[in-house]
Every structure is written in C-alpha cells, then in structure tokens.
Structure 1
C-alpha cells in the first residue's frame, strides 16, 4: 500500500542561509524577492563590464593612444604631451575649415601650415626605375614643413580664434625649441634627403618587377591612389594621424617593421 506524503507546511522565507535561500519548498520555485533581483542585476552588470573591458581596453595613465591624433607628439596644443603651444586647438596646426591656401598646397586638404621653401637634395640612384621629382610635392612637402627645421610649429596661415599658436614658452621636450618653436634634434630631417627612402617618386611596378602591383598593397598607400604611376610619399609608410602600437606600428607607421613587414608591403624578396 502506497504511503501518502504529508502535506507541505507553509514556511516563511528567511534570509538566513539554510541551503534553500532562494527556494520556496511550498511553491517549488524561486522566490523573486527584492534581494534576489538586486543580486541578479549586480551579476548582469558585472558581466557587461567584463565584456566591455575586453572589447575596449582603457589606456593607462600617460599612455599614448594607438588611434587618433590627440595625445600624440603631433598634438601641438597646450593639452598635448609636450605642451608645445598655448593653443587650445589641435587640428589647426595642419588644417583649417576656412581660408585654406590654394595652389600646390591643396594636395593636402584645407592645408593651414606655412609651407617650407627649402631646396632639398633628392635621392638619386642609377638603378632606380621610378622617377623622383626635382623637389618634394604633396604630402611629403607638408611633413617637411615642420620636419626640415625651418618653420615654427605655429607658423599658420589662419590662426585659431583663441591664439596661442605662436607661444612656445611652455614646450616640454618633444624635439621643439621653446624659444623659436622650431623642430630640433633627432626628428629634424633637414634638407638632405639623399640618405632616406626616396619620396615624391613614381611607383613603377611595370618596370621594376621586384615591386608588388599597386592593387596588392596592404596597409601602405600611394598618392593620390594605389595605381601604377602613383607616387611614394612620406605618408606612404607613415600615418600622421595615428601613433600606432608600441613595438609594432609606433611611431606613426602604417605597418609594423617587425619581420621587415613594412618593406615587404611593397618590395618582393
């Protein structure tokens, strides 16, 4: 004869731990109390925070951002890492939304910095297939307008509304002279370009078979676009708007130099 089970006795829910903290033996279900909901909400929030941290890691204090210009050596504002000027703006040292200079400088969109008039000694080699321009043009000329050491960082056509672009008194390193605003030290290229990779040079993969076809270039780029006859410029290897990662694409490289990856982006072995 089957024994009958005793009827359940109604019990009040207790917050004390008895092995059934969130379980009602009478209803045989979880009790969605205020405390239970609070605990589940906290767990859910912690899970979301953990996923977000994996997807978007934060920078340590003083770290240089991998992407973007702000906080890098190209940030010449008062809040930049080297406090090169007293200006509160960052983009103005290269670009302006109004009254940009015309002519050859329009190779750089809305160009605002004064352009160097230095006469450069260009790279030359008897075995080179591509043709090097008599003087740097386009993006390379823009880079050299600071890196040749002849123009101050704040030598602009259109000054920012708040000014401060010509005050370098608070400059703290970064290869900028606090008296003149001129670049100095290792980052100054000067006028002799015979010992650096040729710039303002046509990319002739049709003549030099050790070069990749322009459509095969990954990471690096030609100007104005990746086509035969496009030009190699400073910006072919360097991205002035992105510092890059330490030990990889820093400083301002489009492709890492590890394993000669940058060279092999164009050159076949």
Structure 2
C-alpha cells in the first residue's frame, strides 16, 4: 500500500513537472537560435547549446560562454550598422557605455558576439574535446544580415540603450552608471515617464541587478528571451524576435514607457 502511494505521489509529481515544462514553451530547439539549421553540408555537430554555452573550457566564465567574443569596441557613441550616428548620453542625461569594459558583466556583450557580425557564427572556444574551432555555417557571419545589431567594429548607434539603469527613482544606479532621469517615476498610462518595477516585471520584462530599489538595469535580455520562441505573439507569429512581450500595438514599449 505504501509503495502504491509513493508511486502515485511520484507519478503526480512527474506530471506536475512535465506540465510546468509544457507551460514554458518549446524553448530554443528548432527556433531561430537553433543554429544547427545554418550548418553547411558535411558538418557533424548535433548540439543545440554549443553555439553559446559549454560546461567546460568556456571563453568567458559569465554564462559559461562558448562563442568567440566580438573583436570591436562596443560603444553607443559610434555609428551602428545602419549608419545611425552614436550618442554618449540619453536625452535625459544618462551616460551610455562607450567601451566594451563599460558594458560590464551583463549579457549584452555576449549577445553582440554573434550580432555584431565581427566573428563567425560557428566560432567556438570549445568545439568538442576542448578544441577551439569553427562550425561552418551559411551565412558564415551576420555581417550585413538583418540580425546584425552592432557594427563589426562595435558601433551601437541606432539601438535602444542597454547596460544602463532602469529609472525607477532619481539616482538609480546599475553597471556603474547613474540615471540622469529626475522625474516621471512610477507613471500611469498616458501620463508620461516610466512604469514602476513591479508593474514591468509582472508584464514580462526582465530587469537585471536588484533586488534593492534603484539598482535595476536594462540589458538585451530585458526585452528578448533568447531561449524561448513562444513567449509572445507579434504580427501573428509566435516568438517573433524572441520578444518577452508582444510587439503588437506597441505593448512591449508601453510596458516601460507610460505614454
């Protein structure tokens, strides 16, 4: 009888876990970030995660990052791939990162290691058996592709600021940067300013840093979930752009900006 009860309990637990996994969405497999789809003929890699992560011999301890890091100097004060001029600070006076070091240890520079087009998509620190090498893909780099976000030299001009504090109060600090915003905190829809942290996180936006008030920051992964291709539906496509909140009717933008 006890064995039956234990088996039933474990079975129920297993179903609960599976249900939880199902709710999480299909994940990275077969998404645009499953880069096996770009592999050229003759390549034998069958690993999904290897393009970004490795449990050993990583290029960077942060996120056990496996992809070769970008070769440029990341700077918002330099023109981006579309030729957009750079800026050294936001319209409200918040200083923008102008060196790779200034981007800190957040995930943004990891995202850019592919999305700046400076190195091959398949350039890995550990290609297998601890060897550095390249999985040949087509295209070989994102340079000139729609997914190129920064220039090959690291110019970030023309992009929403990242690696900066979220302005939930005056003096908010993240990544060694203090916000220049002095008003408009916790605004209501249509009132201007910015939402409060609780509202933003409830909407699905991921803030980094914390948990103390005034220490939250924005990164690429605040708006994008690189591992889940069905968090939100935009323009009728589930998981388009890996957005955490749908882009329809500007819902993503209005999660933070109270216009």
In which range does the TM-score fall when normalised by the shorter chain?
0.5 to 0.7
Question: Which piece of structure 1 moves more, 88-97 or 155-164?
Answer: 155-164
Q: Secondary structure of the equivalent of 1:231?
A: strand
C-alpha change, 1:126 and 1:261, in structure 2 (3 Å) is closer
Match of residue 255 from structure 2: 265
Which of the two has higher C-alpha Rg?
Answer: 1
Alpha-carbon contact 1:132-1:202 (below 8 Å) kept: no
After superposition, residues 104-119 of structure 1 pair within 5 angstroms as 105-106=60-61, 108-119=62-73
State the alpha-carbon separation in 2 of the partners of residues 87 and 219 from structure 1.
Answer: 34
**Higher strand proportion:** 2
Q: Secondary structure of the equivalent of 1:146?
A: helix
Alpha-carbon contact 1:130-1:203 (below 8 Å) kept: no
Match of residue 7 from structure 2: none
Q: Secondary structure of the equivalent of 1:96?
A: coil
Q: Secondary structure of the equivalent of 1:212?
A: coil
Alignment of 1:233 with 2:219, yes or no, is yes
State the alpha-carbon separation in 2 of the partners of residues 247 and 257 from structure 1.
Answer: 11
State the alpha-carbon separation in 2 of the partners of residues 255 and 222 from structure 1.
Answer: 13
State the alpha-carbon separation in 2 of the partners of residues 155 and 140 from structure 1.
Answer: 18
State the alpha-carbon separation in 2 of the partners of residues 249 and 90 from structure 1.
Answer: 18
Alpha-carbon contact 2:123-2:135 (below 8 Å) kept: no
**Higher helix proportion:** 2
Match of residue 212 from structure 1: 195
Alignment coverage as a number of residue pairs: 191
C-alpha change, 1:129 and 1:86, in structure 2 (3 Å) is farther
Note the aligned Cα RMSD (angstroms).
Answer: 2.9
Q: Secondary structure of the equivalent of 1:92?
A: helix
C-alpha change, 1:74 and 1:248, in structure 2 (3 Å) is closer
Structure 1 unaligned runs (5+)? 1-54, 56-64
Match of residue 8 from structure 2: none
Alignment counterpart, residue 127 of structure 1, candidates 74, 77, 91: 91
Structure 1 residue 164 displacement after superposition: 11
State the alpha-carbon separation in 2 of the partners of residues 163 and 152 from structure 1.
Answer: 16
State the alpha-carbon separation in 1 of the partners of residues 207 and 58 from structure 2.
Answer: 24
After superposition, residues 77-116 of structure 1 pair within 5 angstroms as 77=36, 80=37, 82-83=38-39, 86-101=44-59, 105-106=60-61, 108-116=62-70
After superposition, residues 41-56 of structure 1 pair within 5 angstroms as none
Please report the TM-score for the alignment, with normalisation by the length of structure 2: 0.64
Please report the TM-score for the alignment, with normalisation by the length of structure 1: 0.62
C-alpha change, 1:152 and 1:99, in structure 2 (3 Å) is same
Match of residue 188 from structure 1: 148
Q: Secondary structure of the equivalent of 1:251?
A: helix
- Residue by residue over 1:243-267, the C-alpha shift from the partner in whole angstroms, topping out at 9 and shown as x without a partner, is 2344354121111011211011111
Structure 1 residue 216 displacement after superposition: 2.1
Structure 2 unaligned runs (5+)? 1-18, 77-86, 171-180, 185-192
Structure 1 residue 125 displacement after superposition: 4.2
